[in-house]
Chain A
């Protein structure tokens, strides 16, 4: 029962262009969402988060959008840089009932082509 889904296993984008990574979830109780970035042989690194009371959060080149009615969030990276090439994981949690357990998607491997 995969509660968080990333349906695109991979994405290739030209340097300087926008990268859009998508994530869908099924549990309507999820109220806090995060994106992590992972390089090979390293643990996931926190990138950006968003609370369910917001629909957008921006941090430099990274913006996360949340559409609660569609149970969908996306990560926009603009402009994309070669150093952004990594696997990106979407995570979600229900802070009220199971606030200590993060549910992760299967990841999207982003390649930024110079």
Chain B
């Protein structure tokens, strides 16, 4: 069990560029979550997958954001036409299936800086 991994750990991009982040959950976890954390704030929920199905999306997830989990394993989060306000830590978490009170286990995050 290697834990949740995220790649890249850091990304610097210019405004207007597209970026894509990857998350690999813990192997037996079928639930996968994306959160965003800005300075001085706690993580804020963006979206959630159960297997390959995207079941919930926050209003924070604008049209420029898209997340996929095509085979129910790893997930990608893409931000199109990045803006300076997108600068944040993007966290991925995973959890086991069929557990009502279930802990989400977080990856190390991808820190995005939009110049």
Residue of B nearest to A9 (CB): B40
Task: List residues of A (9-31) whose CB comes within 8 Å of B's CBs.
Answer: none
Chain A residues contacting B40 (CB-CB under 8 Å) are 106-107
Task: List residues of B (1-60) whose CB comes within 8 Å of A's CBs.
Answer: 4, 6, 31, 33, 35, 40-45, 48, 50, 55-56, 58
* Residue A42 is within 8 A (CB to CB) of chain B in the complex: yes
Chain B residues contacting A34 (CB-CB under 8 Å) are 103
A3, B106: Cα distance in complex, Å: 21
The A-B contact count (CB < 8 A) is 61
Residue of B nearest to A105 (CB): B42
| A46 & B103 in contact (Cβ 8 Å cutoff) | yes
A102, B44: Cα distance in complex, Å: 8
* Residue B72 is within 8 A (CB to CB) of chain A in the complex: no
* Residue A82 is within 8 A (CB to CB) of chain B in the complex: no
Residues of A at under 8 Å CB distance from B?
Answer: 4, 6, 32, 34, 36, 41-46, 49, 51, 89, 91, 95, 98-107
